[in-house]
Amino acid sequence: MGQMNGDPPRPAPARDLIGTLLRGLFDDASLFPPGNLPMPQAIDAHARHRAAWYRDLTGPFVCPDTRLPELRRVLTAAGTPSIDLSLVVTGGAAAVADAVNESDADPRLRLLAIEVPIARGEDPAKAIVDVTTALDGAPRTGAAGYVEIPIGLAADPASARALIAIIAEHGYRPKLRTGGVTSAAFPDEPTLAACLATVVRQWVPFKCTAGLHHAVRHTAAETGFEHHGFLNVLLAIAAAASGADHDRIAGILRQRERSAIAGQVRALAADDIARVRTVFASFGTCSTDEPVTDLVALDLIATGEAGYEQVGETGTRLAGDE
């Protein structure tokens, strides 16, 4: 999907509001830090997620191009017939063609997305054009293309609008990193707020990655790092889409009261949710179990054998096998 011009899209009514908000939200990045699951365990866990009651929340399996041979061997050993794949091209623009060709050579790999970082140390506009040109030349067969840009670039409205426009004009999407293995990898609230506002107000679909595997903002006990909550991010996107100012968006990202965040999610209207998911495609998480467990603990979804349902004041039933 490319840039959406003009007025915000007119959303269709959603029958299962929380289900619409969460559907396909969690890209399975369990191979990546801090999860770092070995490939066999990662494939087993992904199969479990795809068969579980929360399966509608689970997105594609995220794998770096450097590990495609290992992925194919494990799929063969496990007898896995196929897998939805989001391919991270670690070598940047120059490696895109070979990575996509290698993926296409195995019909079990259903390529849904290609994620490519821009080169560091180059002019950002040129680096983005290099990636979009490489994606243009790759046989993507309908897979979404993501161009990862440093979040600092996306947070500066003066320069970010032009950079994001380059990505969108080619029909691709920005990818924003919201965490990592060092404290510096986590943008602070004002930086992330500015970034979200800039991207959302251009109505360009995007994804996030890293650091969002818990629902609400918190300090990680094991590292002391400040993590953004994925529900905070969803609410901040809703606020940005409705024209909230920077301080309001940053304030939402700062909130740590779990019950308050859950209440604000329940209060989202159908048009708010439709706008959020029009621009926010998904985020990569090294653990699918953690966000699902958080949602259950927050009383937003309930476990079930044949699907899942919202619990709480509204009593709205969510999507599942009925």
Which of 250, 161, 159 lies closest to 200, judged by CA? 161
Q: What is the pLDDT of residues 265-316, one digit of tens each?
A: 999 999 999 999 999 999 999 999 999 999 999 999 988 644 454 443 333 3
| Under 8 Å between Cβ of 46 and 28 | yes
In a domain, 11, yes or no: no
Helix axes 230-241, 258-266, angle to 10 degrees: 50
Helix axes 230-241, 189-200, angle to 10 degrees: 50
Contacts of 86 (CB under 8 A, 6+ apart): 27, 59, 60, 61, 62, 63, 112, 113, 114, 115, 284
What is the amino acid identity at position 314? T
In a domain, 57, yes or no: yes
Mean pLDDT score, 204-221: 95
In a domain, 313, yes or no: no
Residue 17 pLDDT level (bands cut at 50, 70, 90): confident
Q: What is the pLDDT of residues 98-141, one digit of tens each?
A: 999 999 999 999 999 999 999 999 999 999 999 999 999 998 88
pLDDT for 11 equals 42
Long-range contacts of 246-249 (CB under 8 A, 24+ apart): 246/190, 246/193, 246/194, 246/197, 249/193, 249/196, 249/197
Alpha helices by DSSP H, the chain = 17-22, 39-51, 68-78, 96-104, 124-136, 151-154, 157-169, 189-200, 230-241, 246-254, 258-266, 270-279, 289-297
Q: Which residue has the higher pLDDT, 115 or 153?
A: 115
231 φ, ψ (degrees, to nearest 5): -70, -35
Alpha-carbon distance 314 to 322, whole Å? 20
CATH number at residue 88: 3.20.20.70
| Under 8 Å between Cβ of 25 and 19 | no
In a domain, 175, yes or no: yes
SS3 218: strand
Q: What is the DSSP string of 133-149?
A: HHHHTS--TT-EEEEE-
| Under 8 Å between Cβ of 268 and 21 | yes
Residue 319 pLDDT level (bands cut at 50, 70, 90): very low
In a domain, 119, yes or no: yes
Which of 300, 287, 221 lies closest to 21, judged by CA? 300
In a domain, 271, yes or no: yes
In a domain, 113, yes or no: yes
pLDDT for 153 equals 85
pLDDT for 154 equals 79
Mean pLDDT score, 231-254: 98
| Under 8 Å between Cβ of 19 and 56 | yes
pLDDT for 8 equals 53
Q: What is the pTM of this model?
A: 0.89
Number of domains present in the structure of the chain? 1
Q: Percentage of the chain with pLDDT > 90?
A: 80
pLDDT for 2 equals 40
Domain with 189, as residue range(s), is 17-297
Mean pLDDT score, 189-208: 95
In a domain, 261, yes or no: yes
Which of 267, 263, 228, 269 lies closest to 249, judged by CA? 228
Mean pLDDT score, 199-207: 95
Q: What is the pLDDT of residues 58-96, one digit of tens each?
A: 999 999 999 999 999 999 999 999 999 999 999 999 999
SS3 72: helix
Residue 255 pLDDT level (bands cut at 50, 70, 90): very high
| Under 8 Å between Cβ of 183 and 226 | yes
